[in-house]
Chain A
Amino acid sequence: MNDKRRVISEVEVKAMDRISVRVCSGTTCYVLGGSELMDLARTLPPGWRDRVQVEGAPCLDLCRSPGQARPPFVKVGDRVVAEASVEKVVAALRELLA
């Protein structure tokens, strides 16, 4: 019983350690190039799969915030990647995973 509980908590800890990648699926981001990020999860290096959690997100509202940052937006952990491409997201992840 005790053993089992220990295993579950380890899995949970592992899940919390995963870096979340949230791809904005708002219409603006999608139309301005975000469509090409939709299969981001499949293009990441296989070794990263259990360390990175990629998900589509409803509009992150970043396109409406003031400033010169432009869509499409992706949030890698707490970091906002503007004018996102697969290459830029991979670069941001590489820094965080290093």
Chain B
Amino acid sequence: MSLDNEAVLLKREILIRVATLAHEGTLTTQLRKLPYEMTAAGRPSYRCCVHHERAILRDRVLAVLGSAIEERDESVDLNEAAVEAWERTGPDAFPLTVVDEACKGCVRSHFTVTNACQGCVARSCRNSCPQGSIVVQGGRASIDPETCINCGKCQEACPYHAIIHLPVPCEEACPVGAVTKGPDGKETIDPDKCILCGRCIGACPFGAVMEKSDVVRIVRALGDDRPLVALVAPSVLGQFPGTLAQIYGAIHALGFIDVKEVAEGAEQTAAHEAQEWAHGQASGQAFLATSCCPAWVRASRAIPGMGAFVSTTPSPMVFAARAARTAHPGAQLVFVGPCTAKRREALDTAEVDAVLTFEELGALFVARGIEVGQAEPFPLKAHRPEGRGFALSGGVAAAVAATGVTGLKPELINGLTRKSLNLLKVYAKGKGQGNLVEVMACEGGCVAGPGKVCSVKVALTHWDQEAK
């Protein structure tokens, strides 16, 4: 999900354009032109006509302004929406929105016979079907959608690989079944089921799932009298050119009076979690599940019996926020990370005032013409590597182990999927093998978060160079 998904690049371009207008003070007078500028001659076109292209771009802009597309009146003017965004005092409680104009309304997930079918004598597809759903007529097999149960046996059986599975990518990516079709065939997200892992954002090939950005409010806050402090997640390494100290320097140059490493909070989380684990073991508790991933904490609530096993230790963001409040009373705290679920954790805990993703931070840099690779390095506090390690799968368990507790048997859940959730359900019944279960919703850890700038592969090269 980077260079290979043009929808991601479109979103980033809109973020940059909106942040630039907001910074220049022309958002409320010039925003109306944005869909026209982005459909000028020579620009790539993805839709049936320029009008549809503009309608979708307009909705994407609304999401970047922080609006729920589902609730918008189609006649709303972008300049007026910009005024509303500029005046907004906080983000929506549910941070995702579906751009229904952009949603393809994919046909229900199904198997289909392509024209590679040779109508062979073997009839392997028909013979493998437990439902009797396949008939061969006129030299070609076909599947009866009414009786097919999507088992996929025919696909495996076909000697010509002529049967394909057509998925609904967002539904398939959702580990908890929160994304389903409405009556019009367009996707909707159930806010009660959704764990905010953000997988659907990257999964949709049409870029129809978007985050409601808070970027305009942050641009405004940067110009206000009340000082801002940035709390930066350790996964920032590699998200921008330059060294870690230069990235911090660039954030400082945006106007944040101080830039704190959330890695410091992570060290406190690890120490508390180690204590909690040791107490639990002493009192006969089967295992402790980590609590730093907010998508996992949301998911855990739907697993019967899991509640007793999830750590109550505050997340690194919360510890970092408490330290920052003491150091800078009266300042507004902005968490900067790659995470969609953090937006909701910020609201629920009320420990930070706003959340910015790395993509949005990048848009602010571009809007202000800040070259991160040339930025003045910001002095970073000496730290232990374990805190920064929270950004990678295995890092939390390693940090707990590094506190010196003995008898630790970690199990790493590297990515929340339907499959790994099933394993966690087994744990909730007291049948797991490990006694510390580290859960990260994103495969690879936070470096793979939905708000990341670069691919995990590129981020890891930076980690190899600097994190040690």
A interface residue numbers (CB < 8 A to B): 25-28, 30-33, 35-36, 38-39, 56, 58-59, 68, 85
* B373 CB contact (under 8 Å) in A26, A31, A36: A26
Is there an interface contact between A30 and B461, defined as CB atoms closer than 8 Å? no
- Work out how many contacts link A and B, with CB atoms closer than 8 A: 69
Is there an interface contact between A36 and B371, defined as CB atoms closer than 8 Å? no
CA distance A81 to B239 in the complex (A): 23
B12 an interface residue at 8 Å Cβ cutoff? yes
Question: Could you say which residues of chain A place their CB within 8 Å of the CB of B370?
Answer: 27
Q: For the complex of A and B, list the 8 residue pairs with the smallest distance between their C-beta atoms, beginning with the closest.
A: A35-B454, A31-B362, A68-B42, A25-B241, A33-B3, A36-B3, A27-B365, A28-B366
A28-B366, A35-B455, A36-B458 given as contacts; is B359 within 8 A of A58 (CB)? no
Of B359, B363, B458, chain A has the most CB atoms within 10 Å of the CB of B458
* A35 CB contact (under 8 Å) in B250, B363, B374, B458: B458
CA distance A27 to B19 in the complex (A): 14
Is there an interface contact between B240 and A27, defined as CB atoms closer than 8 Å? yes
CA distance A26 to B369 in the complex (A): 10
B453 an interface residue at 8 Å Cβ cutoff? yes
* B241 nearest in chain A by CB position: A25
B372 an interface residue at 8 Å Cβ cutoff? yes
- Shortest beta-carbon distance, A40 to chain B, in Å? 11
* A59 nearest in chain B by CB position: B371
Question: Could you say which residues of chain B place their CB within 8 Å of the CB of A35?
Answer: 2, 238-239, 453-455, 458
Is there an interface contact between A32 and B371, defined as CB atoms closer than 8 Å? no
Of B13, B41, B370, B373, chain A has the most CB atoms within 10 Å of the CB of B373
CA distance A59 to B374 in the complex (A): 9
B346 an interface residue at 8 Å Cβ cutoff? no
Is there an interface contact between B461 and A39, defined as CB atoms closer than 8 Å? yes
Of A32, A36, A68, chain B has the most CB atoms within 10 Å of the CB of A32
CA distance A32 to B9 in the complex (A): 6
- Shortest beta-carbon distance, B3 to chain A, in Å? 4
CA distance A28 to B359 in the complex (A): 11
Question: Could you say which residues of chain A place their CB within 8 Å of the CB of B2?
Answer: 33, 35-36
Is there an interface contact between A68 and B458, defined as CB atoms closer than 8 Å? no
Is there an interface contact between B13 and A30, defined as CB atoms closer than 8 Å? no
Interface residues of B in 242-257 (CB under 8 A from A): 250
Is there an interface contact between B241 and A30, defined as CB atoms closer than 8 Å? yes
* A27 CB contact (under 8 Å) in B41, B359, B372: B372
Question: Could you say which residues of chain A place their CB within 8 Å of the CB of B457?
Answer: 39
In the complex, 21 of the A-B residue pairs with CB atoms within 8 angstroms, ordered by the A residue number, are A26-B371, A27-B362, A27-B365, A27-B372, A27-B373, A28-B16, A28-B366, A30-B362, A30-B453, A30-B454, A31-B12, A31-B240, A32-B9, A32-B16, A36-B455, A36-B458, A38-B461, A58-B374, A68-B40, A68-B43, A85-B3
Interface string of B67-108 (1 = CB under 8 A from A): 000000000000000000000000000000000000000000
- Shortest beta-carbon distance, A17 to chain B, in Å? 29
CA distance A47 to B52 in the complex (A): 47
Identify 20 new A-B residue pairs, CB closer than 8 A, beyond the known A32-B12, A33-B2. Answer: A26-B241, A27-B362, A27-B365, A27-B370, A28-B16, A28-B366, A30-B362, A30-B453, A31-B16, A31-B365, A35-B2, A35-B239, A35-B454, A36-B2, A36-B454, A58-B373, A58-B374, A59-B371, A68-B41, A68-B42
- Shortest beta-carbon distance, A48 to chain B, in Å? 20
* B241 CB contact (under 8 Å) in A32, A33, A56, A68: A56
- Shortest beta-carbon distance, A44 to chain B, in Å? 16
Interface string of B33-58 (1 = CB under 8 A from A): 00000001111000000000000000
* A30 CB contact (under 8 Å) in B16, B42, B240, B363: B240
* B366 CB contact (under 8 Å) in A31, A36, A39: A31
* B239 nearest in chain A by CB position: A35
- Shortest beta-carbon distance, B4 to chain A, in Å? 9
Question: Could you say which residues of chain A place their CB within 8 Å of the CB of B240?
Answer: 27, 30-31
Question: Could you say which residues of chain B place their CB within 8 Å of the CB of A56?
Answer: 241, 373
Interface residues of B in 441-468 (CB under 8 A from A): 453-455, 457-458, 461
CA distance A59 to B371 in the complex (A): 8
Is there an interface contact between A31 and B43, defined as CB atoms closer than 8 Å? no
Of A31, A32, A36, A38, chain B has the most CB atoms within 10 Å of the CB of A31
CA distance A35 to B1 in the complex (A): 12
* B41 nearest in chain A by CB position: A68
* A38 CB contact (under 8 Å) in B13, B41, B458: B458
CA distance A36 to B2 in the complex (A): 8
CA distance A56 to B374 in the complex (A): 13
CA distance A33 to B371 in the complex (A): 16
